[in-house]
Structure 1
Amino acid sequence: MSTTPVRVLALVGSVRTGSVNRRLAELLAERAPEGVEVAIAEGLADLPFYDDDVDAAGAPAAVTRVREQIAAADRVLFVTPEYNGRMPAVLANVIDWGSRPYAAGALKGKPVAVVGASFGRFGGVWAHDEARKSVGIAGGVAIEKGLSATPTTPDLAGDEQLVADALAVLADLVAHEGETVAA
């Protein structure tokens, strides 16, 4: 008897080379529990800022790819740093594109959790809160459990607690039995 794996799409809020959040997403993909596949979305930096006129004229190919990735996932995991007390613009933009068309976007009913690593003294807690709030307004089902606000090192070296906490959030996301939308 084979079971279908739970597909989790990781949306990384930092697009820079050497991003600690990208590394965290990679570790979650490597260490995901049996029966869980974590894929990291590519091309988020290629999305234009959301523009309803552009969307109405026909979404660009990069937008269509990201929307399809979100729609195909069973769950979505934001992996985000905190920039100036908020989530990065790249994630806000993904939420904007993923919430459209209104009331029928790829995020509608999709369980979403937020983890991340940040160097600031609050460890990203404001960005996590903002991401959960925004994705909930956009139609996703935000899972409230999150990481403790612990700053990290640039390479996650010696930060096994952060990785363990992120894996626990991933497990809670996978176990979530709320409203979902089939791909």
Structure 2
Amino acid sequence: MFKNTLLLIGALAAVSVAQPAAAQASTAPAAVRPLASCPAILKQNFKRLQDEAPQDLCQYAGKVVLVVNTASYCGFTKQYEGLEKLYAKYGSRGLVVLGFPSNDFGKQEPGNAKEIADLCFNTYGVKFPMFAKSVVTGPDANPLHSSLTKATGQAPKWNFTKYLIGRDGKVLEHFPSKVTPEDPALVGKIEQALAP
């Protein structure tokens, strides 16, 4: 009888221990959220403008991305202000603006990283990510711009050309330099891409 009582106590203890563990197991998957998978177009690394620290663009997976090639001495340079306003307004909803300085057009970005960063951050108050100066057109174009050109059939023709990438990594639209950050066509496309 003593042996049967011990067996019964042991069985009850096993059941009481097993139930909470099972309950935990059933709630665990709901608590863990998978990270957004990185689309092919973002599987690239670029150096950050201010300190040349390598940056993996996969950190922007799941966001709406506006890629802009920039220049410090261009008639469109004041678009930095509008781009920063877009980033400030829609950043919390999932928009990120990525700036790529380039000297490809009119030699309007001749400066070094420190000079470019000074203009961006101190003159225009840019807070969105900026990357080291690179080539954005032709056979030597950086891999992101090569991919954007291939996806849209539109290479940048001047500074402040814009490409909009959806949360899924699909290139949604190309906007030429004259389309300002405040343009209803651009804003509308961003809002559409951000919609749940």
Q: What is the TM-score normalised by the length of structure 1?
A: 0.31
Q: What is the TM-score normalised by the length of structure 2?
A: 0.29
Larger-gyration structure (1/2): 2
